[in-house]
Every structure is written in C-alpha cells, then in structure tokens.
Structure 1
Amino acid sequence: MTEQVFVLGGAQTDFAVHWTRTSDEPLRAMLADAVTTALADADVAAADVGTAHVGNLAAELFTGQAHLGALLTTLDPAWSALPTSRHEAACASGSVAVLAATAEIEAGRYDVALVTGVELMRNVGGRQAADHLGCAAWVGREEFPDGLPWPTLFERIAEEVDERDGLDRDHLRRIAEINRENARANPLAQTRGWTDVVTAADDAANPPVVGRMRAADCGRITDGAAAVVLAGRRYAQEWSRRTGRTPAVIRGWGHRTGSLGLQDKLDASRGAAYLFPHLRTAITEAYGRAGIAGPEELDAIELHDCFTITEYVALEHLGIPAARAIDDGRIARGGALPVNPSGGLIGAGHPVGATGVRMLHDAARQVTGRAGETQVEGAETVATLNIGGSAATVVSLVVGTVAG
C-alpha cells in the first residue's frame, strides 16, 4: 500500500509586502519568514525535517541567485547537511516541489518533508518583470509584439474559447469581482486593501492590456513565499497524539505536461472535448486517486487564475460548466462550491514559485477548520489546480480530512 502523506501545518508571507524595501536579503528573508512560521504552525522541530524541496521559477533572472536548496539550509543549524532540491515548472513550480516531497515520503525515505516556494519579482520594473517571466514561454518560437508574453498568450486562449464555444465578457468580469471580494477577508492577500475599480470597462479605471484582457483580468506581480510540512503516517500519528490535532491528508494527485508552445496544444485539441486534454487528464487522475467521482464531491477549490480566462477554462476542465456556475452563484463565497476563498491569484497574489504551495496550505487549512475569515463552513474535501505556462505543466491535488 502506498504511504499516505499528511499536511501538518504551513504558512505564507504577507503577499502585499514589497520585500526589497524591507530586507537587504529579500529572497532569504521571505524563505525564513514562511519556513519558520510553517514549522511553528505545524509544531515540528527543524531537526525532525528529513528532506526539503524548493519551488521557484526565475530567481536567477530577478536576483542572480540560483541553488536555492542550499540557500534554504542556511536558515537553521540543524539543516547543515539536509538533503534539498529546487524545482522549476513555471507557475506550477510549487506543486511539482510538493509532488517530489510526497514521492520521497511514499517511498519511505523520510518521515518529514518541508516544501517551500518563493519568488521575488517586485525588485525590477513591470516591463522587465514581464520580460523575465517570458522565459516560461517558448523562447524564440513565440513572439510578443507588445512585450507582454502572458497577457498575449491568455488573450489567445480567450479567443480560442470564444471561437469554439462562445465567451461572455461579463463572466470574466464576475470572476475578477469574486476573487477580489474574497481577498478582502484574507489578512495576507495582496489586494485586501485595494480600492481601485476592478470591473469597469472604463479605460482609465480599468485599462485594457491586450485584447479583451483588462487590468482587472490579470494577476499582479507579487513577492512572496509559502511553506508546508508534510509527513508519513507513523510520524503523523505520533504528532496527533502529541498535539491533539488532526492533520489534513493528500487524498489524490494528478500531474501532466503538454507542449511548451500554446499553438501546438490548441492545434492538437481540435475536435476534442476539452481545450487542453492533458489538463483534464490530470484532474480526473486526481479525482480517481482520491476516490471521488467529480466536482460534486468537493466543498471548495483553490485554482489557478493568473487571468480571469484561466479560471474560466479551469472550471470547465474540472467538470464545472463555467458560465452556468458563474451565473448561479455556486462559485462565490457562500455558494454551493466556493472557488478561491483565499482570493486566488488575482486577489491573494501570485508569487510564481510559491503559488502551488500556498494552494495546498490553504486547502489543508480549509479541511481542518483553520482557515479563519476565509473558512468554508463544513469543508472536508478541497481540490487545488496549479497551471504552469500556457497550460503546459498542470498539477491537481485533492486534500481531505483523516477518517478513523
């Protein structure tokens, strides 16, 4: 039998903080903040951690610093010889780091694993940040005349959805509105205190970026880190007896990767039931491993909304009719299936390498009743969906409570 993997605790930094203004070593400072707080939240000693994994996209470009696994070991004397590694899968880097850690626990190599994700992106101007982030597209093959790789690619996805099935701009507007509303209840969300107009079609209040993508449709440049502490059954049982707490458990997972280029993926799915068949496969694999039939057995979802169209497409691939779910209110806070109670990437923020870890942390908080003001009442099963690049690398997790 495969070893189950439990989530004992976790943390994220305040995604509103501009870390270059607060620290001379912002990358290390973010890691220290998230990791130290996660260990305290989990009530786990640093010496108990047997292995660690770091998710990050582009620290080399933004800071000149690589080898982040070794940087992590500088945070505690107990980690002077800790086995670590760094994982890159565009915006899905954090989730891939999670999968690597779970595999080590499942194999019985270690009892406890630390997973953290981090990204520093506000230390450069917006145009330079956009250029750096373009490294996750197909460099040399995909061109961006406006110098904005990701708004351009996701506008192309919106065009494709419109051509195939039709797309109502008001549905994208409502997605932005819901995520920003949710973020107001999240004390660590990047936009929690923002008062800008997020849904207007006014060019001054909500300016166009590329095509139908306006400012409110786009996730913003964010600094931040997140961390979770994972454990196998034996350690988790001893931990439960010691702390009196019940951990969350990762019930299922799915992981697939399509072509690096967007047009390759769109061409390959002509005539298919789904725009991105590999994305649907990752989700159904997560459902199957978790022993659930589909979204009707979920209580909440933390999904990738780097753009409003990303959430729209994600809903469809999760088996949820996006337009209908938006219209009937089921995905809003207080609805039948709340989506992104944290505020998601648009509301809470998107420090690229940290996002997948943050999603798992929030899902675990939900199912253990520790999500504070963002808590979905009675949540027992929560899915995550983390997307890297133009829906190239995709990872879905199903997180639940521990029975028995």
Structure 2
Amino acid sequence: MLKYISNKLEDPNFPLLGPNIKALKFWGLILPEISSKKWMYIAFHLSVIIFTATEYAEIWFVKKDMNLLLTNVKITLLATVSVGKVISFLIWQNNWKSIIDYVNEADKTQRQILNSDKRAIIENYTKYSRKITYYYWLLMYMTVVFVICQPFYKYISSEIYRESVRNGTGGYTEVVSSWVPFNKSTIAGYMMASLYQSYAAIYGGGWITSFDTNAIVIMVFFRGELQSLRMDCSNIFGTENSVVTREEARLRLEICHKRHLNLVKYSRMFDSCLSPIMLLYVIVCSVMLCATTYQITFETSALQRFITVEYLIFGVAQLFMYCWHSNEVFFVSKDLSLGPYESIWWTRELSEQKDIKILTEQFKKPIVFSAGPFSEITVATFISILKGAYSYYTLLSQSQEN
C-alpha cells in the first residue's frame, strides 16, 4: 500500500522534485492554469487567512488565562508563518517556478551522465530527499491529528471534564482557539467552530508541508550539485593515465564555469524568496519554543503534556531542518575551490594553469542562505535560537513565581 502511494507520487518529468511538485499543486501553492480551479484555490487560501485573523481576535478574549493565552499565541504565530509562506510563494510564483525549472533541468542533465561516482551522489540525494519529504509529512500530520482529536479524546477520557461541560461550569475544549461570530458555547455552535478549525488546521498543515519540503529538497539539490561540480572540476584535464586535449579541457572548464554561474544565480534567487520567511520563522520559533517549554513545565494533564511535547518536537524539527541543510550547503560550497586543484593542473601549460586560478577565485565565495539581513541560516544560528528561547522561558517562569 505504501509503495503504491509512493509510486503514484513520482513523476518521470520531475525525477527529484516529483512528490514535492504534486504537493505544491494539490495545496494550491502552484496555482492551476484553469481559471475556475485557480479561483477556487484562492478562495481556500483566503478562508484560512481570515481564520488566522480570528485567532488574533481571540487573544483579546483569553488574555487573562496564561495557559490559554500561550496556547493561542504559539498556534497563531505558527499560522502566521504559514500565511506568510503561501502569500510569498504566490507573489513570487514566477521566481519559484524558475528555481524549480532550473533544479529539474540541472538534475536531469546530471542523471544522463554515465559516471558511477556521480550517479552515487544523485541516488543518495534522491533517496535522502524522499525520506525527508515523507517523514516531514508524517510528523506534520501526526501533529494535526493530535490537535484535531484532543478535544474529543479529552471528553471521552475525563469524567471531570464531561461533568463540567454538562453542568455548565466548564466550556468546550476547542481544536484551535479562535473567534467566531456566533455562540460557540452551544453544541451546534461548537461543532460548527470545530469543523472550521479542523479545516484550517488541515489546510495550514498542507501549506507548511508542501512549502517546507520543497525548500529543503532544493537545498539538498544545491549540496549535491556542488559535490558533483567539484568532482567535474577535479577531472577537467582527465587523469594521469588518460589526459585530455587542450580543446577538451577548455570545453570542460567552460562548462564548470557556466554551471557555477547558474548555481550562484538560482541560489541567490532562492535566498531572496526564502529569506523574509526565515526571518519571520526565527522570531516566531523563539517565542513558540519558549511558550511550549513553559506549558510542558506547568501542564498537569498527561494528554495535554503529550500534545505539547509533540508540538515542541515539530517546532524544533522545522527550524532544525532548515538550519542543518543550509549549513551543509555553506560548508560544501566553501570546499568547492579545492576541486580545480584536485585535477592534474601541474602537468599543463602556464596559460591553462592561469585559467584554473581564475576558476578557483570564482569558487571562493561561499553560498549561504539568510534570515533577512540579520543572520545566516546555520546550525550556529539554530543553537543561538534555542539559547534565546531558554532565556525567555527562564524569565517567564521567574515572573510567574514572583
């Protein structure tokens, strides 16, 4: 069954990005060409954006309850990031399509080369991309299922909660805390609100998974392309046992030069599309991790603590995967300049050695992705965010004790 589903997600036209492209189209981040379907997806997007606004409105009504306030704030901020992702993707849709087309064409070009070492690189990053995509989807929808089901589970498992609902001393537990223009303390109102909240949670989860896995797989490709380029640079002049002609070496050098120019061009375009979202991500994750850690410490319900822990794991995983894969691209790009010097350059004429020197200088500037103009997306940044979140948590805990 799982193999059948995974095969259905593959696309021979997109050997690397197949599942990611289908997810982007299914959740409407890549809008269809047919006008009716296009406006249908825009209506879906607007409905979830409006729902996010109602989450902000609800903050006013729950501000006196610290636990409800923190729960609302962390979910609302995550929803804000999701809205930012989809809006940015729609605004810069042409840029994203250009990046996807470049990745797809460059990937397919390398797949046609019958080189065992290069094919090993391609197979490794393809398998890795599938694992990242499917595990991320699983983690996201486990979180969504827990969030949707926890009110019903609480009602079934807690006799005290059921009694408080029946005698009117306690309210219904919502899927996601949000404001609605009707009375949600009645059964009918609560069910209507829960349906809307569940729909928004599922659709928002689709936004997050499709955007994040696409961006992360593109980062994985950049790393693989850098590794492949370094390998080709080391073979510009052939080997000591199989030396190539001057004309062939010149052609290989020009191909490496052009590949690197395209790699830099599209990595910068990718960074320009991703950077504003990552800046928002860094700010939101700091607050969200702080709030979630605080709730785990003071939560008395085992179910709520489990859901909060799972939510914390998902929040940390989201940020970590961006920082880790950006970090890998950065360090592989720093080593790219070693590629030309791994060739047999010392056996060539002085003019060819000068060409190698020029190519090496071109490779020296590393590729690094950023979170706005303030910081780079690296593992060091991730650790700094965790330290900052812990500091906020300590401050919040001490203020509550006082």
TM range (shorter): under 0.3
Normalized per residue, the structure richer in strand is 1
The TM-score with structure 2 as length reference comes to 0.27
Normalized per residue, the structure richer in helix is 2
User: If you compute each CA radius of gyration, which structure gives the higher value, 1 or 2?
Assistant: 2
The TM-score with structure 1 as length reference comes to 0.27
Ranked by relative contact order (alpha carbons within 8 Å, sequence separation 6 or more), the top structure is: 1
